A and B are shown apart, each in its own frame.
Chain A
Amino acid sequence: MKTLVSQAVARLARWGTKWSLWPPHLVTACCGVEIGHIFGSVYDAERFGMLPMGSLRQSNIIIIEGTITLKMAKFVKYVYEQMPEPKYVIAMGACAIKGGVFYGSYHMVPASKVVPVHAYVSGCPPTPEAVLKAVSKVQEQIGHAEN
């Protein structure tokens, strides 16, 4: 009985989280311009229930927008640490995956070394459709997660 209740509750929580991914306003590099595009008229990420939030206390997904320099990595890590518990990360752009045009530079780190990443988007910059695809991938991950 107890497991039944907790399973039902977990299902409900997963459904809610899946359809309400709120990113905080954290722009690390030039892919931030593309993020504006994703929430704009043509691509409209709000269809998937995304809502850009100002504060990290209410948000639960970070979209890492491009290059992370060592200086910015501190803040990405700090924002990730301060976010409340079910939290997800999308690494966007070639720079966040491996370095892109800055590959091998002394001052950049790939996203996976800073925070655990749930989905990658390739491209420089990635098209908005690609980012939305990654969002729905994360949604699938959440929906099928075991607790």
Chain B
Amino acid sequence: MDLPFSGDLIAALVFPGVLGIFGFLVVAIWLERKLVARVQWRYGPLYVSKPLGGLLQPVADLLKLVFSELVLPRHTNRLFFAAAPILLFFAEGLPVVFIAAAPGVVMAPHPYGLAIAVVLVLLVAVLVVAMAWTEADKFTYVGAVREILLTAAYEVPLLLAALAMFILYGTADPYGVVEAQSNLWGAVLNPLAFVAYLVALLMATTRFPFEIPEAEPEVVLGPYTEYGSTLFIYAFGANYVKLYVLALLGSVLFLGGWLPAGGLAGVFITLVKMLVFVLPAMLVRAIYPRYRIDQALRIGWGKLLALSVAAVALSLVWRLLR
């Protein structure tokens, strides 16, 4: 390749790497606030940069948080208190290493890459609980317990949806997965797995119908209550990073990744396809109330489990017919 940067460096630094993660944080928060405001007949953030429609609002929020006082409560272990959200944010971004955004634009091409990414996504819940534990507060404790229970609700359907797609394609290599979808997208071949994945994504990122760990009227901000300043950006932004990772994974698994293009155009097509997962996640915030924790568990182990098992069965049938 005669480019000044090779594909894996672009993947590491631009998309889906560092710049993509921080850029997504800004754009997603702006988009969410604007969309929700539009649904509620408001303008949303505007006057901070009127020609851009308030796009600089998240930047102003980030700057304000960075330049506000860093309070480390006395009753906590201060080192762990400061390190926990940094580690959480980092760990949420780590699965990106194994997901390809376009042919060649991947940090670590690996035959089982997507499976490793799914497992890495599921492992992160441990860090949220650890973070809540270091804060040592009753709200964070309740938030941590709710996070564990919600994890118990979505983990198996998410794994089963991924398993269904791996059975269907017979591989977990990002290139192989996308190649297998060159005729028909995975979402068309196995719509059950797609729906199960979408609902599990809403649960995993604690978006609105399942916004149980940080329910504001009940537990202030759940696991993020004690954090202010820069650490709040990391603690709270970690959810958006998870949404980014799961949307990227979903667009490769279900929507044919960068097809029908390759190279640089493929990157943009992947970005557009991610919107299929991101936009519903933003919009449900404006239209749904919140489930109780037992209702969420019942959905996870009832309808959603049935749906994802049916998805695996459908994949088995496709596989044996072929």
Would you call A2 an interface residue if the criterion is a C-beta within 8 Å of the partner chain's C-beta atoms? no
Does residue A34 face the partner (Cβ distance < 8 Å to B)?
no
Asked if B43 and A16 make an inter-chain contact with CB atoms under 8 angstroms apart, the answer reads no
Q: Is the CB of A16 within 8 A of B225?
A: no
Q: Which of A47-55, A70-78, A101-109 contacts B (4 or more CB under 8 A)?
A: A47-55
Q: How many residues on the B side are at the interface (Cβ–Cβ under 8 A)?
A: 36
Given A47-B45, A49-B57, A55-B225, do A17 and B71 touch, yes or no (CB 8 Å)? no
Complex Cα gap A57–B69 (Å)? 10
The answer, yes or no, to whether A20 is at the interface (CB within 8 Å) is yes
A124 contacts partner chain B, Cβ-Cβ < 8 Å: no
Please tell me which one of the listed residues A9, A17, A19 contacts residue B57 in the complex, with CB atoms under 8 A apart. Answer: A19
Q: Which of B170-178, B191-199, B226-234, B270-278 contacts A (4 or more CB under 8 A)?
A: B226-234
* B63-A57 in contact (CB<8A): no
Partner of B63, one of A15, A44, A46, A51: A15
Q: Are A41 and B42 in contact (CB under 8 A)?
A: yes
Q: List the A residue with the shortest CB-CB distance to B224.
A: A55
CB <8 Å contact, A49 and B61: yes
CA A12 to CA B65, docked complex, whole Å:
12
B65 touching A58, Cβ below 8 Å? yes
Q: Which residues of A contact B60 (CB under 8 A)?
A: 15-16, 18-20, 49
Of A18, A57, A60, the residue contacting B225 (CB under 8 A) is A57
| Assembled-state Cα–Cα distance A54/B44 (Å) | 19
Interface segment out of the listed B33-41, B78-86, B159-167, B308-316: B33-41
Cβ-neighbour of B42 out of A12, A13, A44, A55 (below 8 A):
A44
Task: Report which of A40, A44, A58, A86 forms a contact with B67, defined as CB distance below 8 A.
Answer: A86
Q: Give a binary string over B91-120; 1 marks a CB under 8 Å from any A CB, 0 the rest.
A: 000000000000000000000000000000
Contact status A47-B216, CB under 8 Å: no
The yes or no answer to B189 lying at the interface (CB within 8 A) is no
Interface of A is mostly: loop
Q: Tell me if B66 counts as interface (CB < 8 A to partner A).
A: yes
Given known contacts A47-B47, A57-B227, A16 and B232 CB-to-CB distance under 8 angstroms: no
- A46 and B42: CB pair below 8 A? yes
B45 close to A49 (CB less than 8 A)? yes
- Let me know if A86 and B47 touch, CB within 8 A: no
Residues of A near B45 (CB, < 8 A) are 46-47, 49
Q: Does A84 interact with chain B (Cβ within 8 Å)? A: yes
Q: Which residue of A lies closest to B57 (CB)?
A: A49
Question: Does B220 sit within 8 A of A, measured CB to CB?
Answer: yes
B298 CB-CB contact with A under 8 Å: no
B46 contacts the other chain (CB 8 A):
yes
Report yes or no: B48 in contact with A19, Cβ–Cβ below 8 A: yes
Provide the bound-state CA to CA distance between A104 and B190, in Å: 73
Assess the B42–A60 pair: CB atoms within 8 A: no
Please, how many angstroms separate the alpha-carbon atoms of A23 and B47 in the complex? 18
Q: Does B145 contact A (CB under 8 A)?
A: no
Question: Closest CB of chain B to A110's CB: distance in Å?
Answer: 27
- Report if B68 contacts A (CB, 8 A): yes
Interface pair B33/A46, CB less than 8 Å apart: yes
| Chain A residues, Cβ within 8 Å of B232 | 57-58
Contact with B along A13-53 (1 / 0, CB 8 A): 10111111000000000000000000011001011110100
**How near does chain B come to A59, taking the closest CB pair, in angstroms?**
9
**Complex interface: chain B residues within 8 A of A19 (CB):** 47-48, 56-57, 60, 64
Give chain B's interface residues, CB within 8 Å of chain A.
33, 37, 40-48, 54, 56-57, 59-71, 216, 220-221, 225-229, 232
Closest 8 CB pairs of A and B: A16-B63, A85-B69, A13-B67, A57-B228, A84-B69, A19-B60, A16-B64, A20-B64
Q: 23 pairs across A/B with beta carbons < 8 Å? A: A13-B64, A13-B66, A13-B67, A15-B63, A16-B59, A16-B60, A17-B67, A19-B57, A20-B65, A44-B37, A46-B44, A47-B45, A47-B46, A49-B57, A49-B60, A54-B220, A55-B220, A55-B226, A58-B65, A58-B232, A60-B68, A84-B71, A84-B229
Q: A19-B56, A57-B225, A86-B67 are in contact. List 20 more A-B contacts (CB 8 A).
A: A13-B64, A15-B63, A16-B63, A16-B66, A18-B60, A41-B40, A44-B37, A46-B33, A47-B44, A47-B47, A47-B54, A49-B45, A49-B57, A54-B220, A57-B71, A57-B232, A58-B65, A84-B68, A84-B229, A85-B68
Binding site for B on A (CB under 8 A): 9, 12-13, 15-20, 40-41, 44, 46-49, 51, 54-55, 57-58, 60, 84-86
